[in-house]
Amino acid sequence: MLARITTGSKNRDMHWARNLLAKLSFGPSPYGAVQANISTNISETFELFASARVEKFFKGRGNVVAQDLDDGTFWPDTNTTGFSFSSLNLGVGLRVAF
């Protein structure tokens, strides 16, 4: 099990249809992960294994500064952007010793 705080997250988002550039910066966000692995020898040469990992970035909030690239105007917006992310990774395989 793994738990931590993510800090300093940033994103740069170019909207080509509107010619708009948005620079986003986020505050701290909690992160957690759990991983499990299992393996078994099926002979002296072969090992069968499986793994699973679940990750979660909990809701992060932040600020955005947008720039209209046509006329150069900027406008900041405070505490109006956010993110969250979850993933599941599964793996199976066969190891060969020689």
Which pLDDT score, from 0 to 100, does residue 83 have?
Answer: 86
**In angstroms, how far is CA 13 from the centroid of its own chain?**
16
Which pLDDT score, from 0 to 100, does residue 12 have?
Answer: 80
pTM attached to this predicted model: 0.62
Span 35-57, pLDDT tens digits = 999 999 999 999 999 999 999 98
Residue 61's pLDDT band (cuts 50, 70, 90):
confident
How far is it, in rounded angstroms, from Cα 57 to Cα 85?
5
Which pLDDT score, from 0 to 100, does residue 10 have?
Answer: 81
**In angstroms, how far is CA 65 from the centroid of its own chain?**
22
Specify the pairing of strand 20-26 against strand 74-96.
Answer: unpaired
How far is it, in rounded angstroms, from Cα 11 to Cα 60?
12
Residue 8's pLDDT band (cuts 50, 70, 90):
confident
Single-letter amino acid code for the residue at 1: M
Residue 66 and residue 75 in contact, taking contact as beta carbons nearer than 8 Å: yes
Tell me the average pLDDT of the chain: 88
Single-letter amino acid code for the residue at 84: S
